[in-house]
Amino acid sequence: MENFSLDIHDRELVTIVGPSGCGKSTLLNILAGLYPPSVGEVLFEGRPIRGLNPEIGYVTQQDNLLPWRTLQKNVLLPLEFRGEAAANGAAERVRALIAKVGLAGFENHYPHELSGGMRQRANIIRTLVYNPRVILMDEPFGPLDAQTRLTLQNQLLELWQEERKTIIFITHDLTEAISLADRVVVMTGRPGGIKSVTPVRIPRPRDVYHIHQSEVYREVYDKLWEELRAEVAKVM
């Protein structure tokens, strides 16, 4: 990656699209602090990030739930790591989040007893439960079928509206990128850089099921698709 400079505002939902192999996931791994950047730096509230930042959550494409823990225990894990699992209100928060994403009644199921969509919801609330300020999402709905995808996008917007986190969301799906975002970033092919940053001026709360009928949506879609097509063509 080269020449990648982007300011992300507090409580903003930014989506990133780009050709495969342009370094989208690398970007998130660096932001999460899993790997240091070879050149340059990442500033979080003006301070450079060194190592893992407890205020940054990371939702990966694979749900990575622990197969030996029930849904409830999986969501509780980050609180256990922080020594807050037995604290007042911890169990209630876990239960409330589980209910909010429609998983009530499945608390004591193991991951292999849940569907892909349910596991991904569990993955998301496992990150929400410890209240990170920023959440990175790497194609979290990638492996899901179209209907489940829409439902989860809708739920994500509701959660974001309530919890007001800063979210950086990577996707391959232009519609998804536009439905969710305040701003959409298009990345260039190798070396990965920023091609454009487009604000999406569709009022909130949005209806992900009918967003494609909006005039603004179509304009943004056409613009982004032209830009993206040029980049994809370069890589091929």
Partner 1 sequence: MTQEVQSRPPEDLLLPPEVKGLRLLLWRVRHAEELRWVRVAALRVVFGVLMVALWEGVSGRLLDERIVSSPSLLLEAFFEIVSPRNPDGSLWIHFAYTMENTLWGYLLGAALGILFGFVLAEAEIVAQVIEPFIMAFNGVPRIAYAPLFIAWFGIERQPKIILVLTIVFFLTFVSTFSGIRSVPQELVNVARVLGGGKIAILRKIVLPSASPWIFNGLKISIPFGMVGAIVGEYIIADKGLGYLLQRYNNEYFTTGIILVIFILMFFVIAVNQALNWAEGRVLRWRPTSSLGQEAAIPN
Query: Which structure tokens are listed for 111?
Result: 């991951």
Q: Which of 68, 205, 210, 215 binds partner 1 (CB under 8 A)?
A: 68
Instruction: Work out whether 199 is an interface residue with partner 1 (CB under 8 A).
Output: no
Q: Which of 23, 57, 189, 192 binds partner 1 (CB under 8 A)?
A: 57
Q: Which is nearer to partner 1, 63 or 231 (CB)?
A: 63
Cβ nearer to partner 1, comparing 116 with 199: 116
15/138 Cα distance (integer angstroms) = 10
Under the binding rule (CB under 8 A), the answer on residue 130 touching partner 1 is yes
**Closest CB 110 distance from partner 1, rounded Å:** 5
In angstroms, the CA 189 to CA 198 distance is 18
d(CA 121, CA 102): 9
x/- track of binding to partner 1 for residues 81-110 (CB under 8 A): xx---------------------------x
Q: Nearest approach, Cβ of 202 to partner 1 (angstroms)?
A: 27
How many of the chain's residues bind partner 1 (CB under 8 A)?
33
Contact 161, 205 (CB under 8 A): yes
Q: Is 221 in the site for partner 1 (CB under 8 A)?
A: no
Two structure tokens written together for 96? 């409330």
Is 54 an interacting residue with respect to partner 1 (CB under 8 A)? yes
Looking at beta carbons only, is 85 or 174 nearer to partner 1?
Answer: 85
Q: Which two tokens mark 195?
A: 């091609």
Shortest Å, Cβ 86 to partner 1: 15
Among 15, 127, 188, 198, binds partner 1 (CB under 8 A): 127
Is 3 or 64 the residue whose CB approaches partner 1 more closely? 64
69 in contact with partner 1 (CB under 8 A): yes
Stretch that binds partner 1, among 6-14, 114-122, 177-185, 212-220 (CB under 8 A): 114-122
Residues that bind partner 1 (CB under 8 A): 32, 34, 52, 54, 56-58, 60, 62, 64, 66-69, 77-78, 80-82, 110, 112-118, 126-127, 130, 145, 147-148
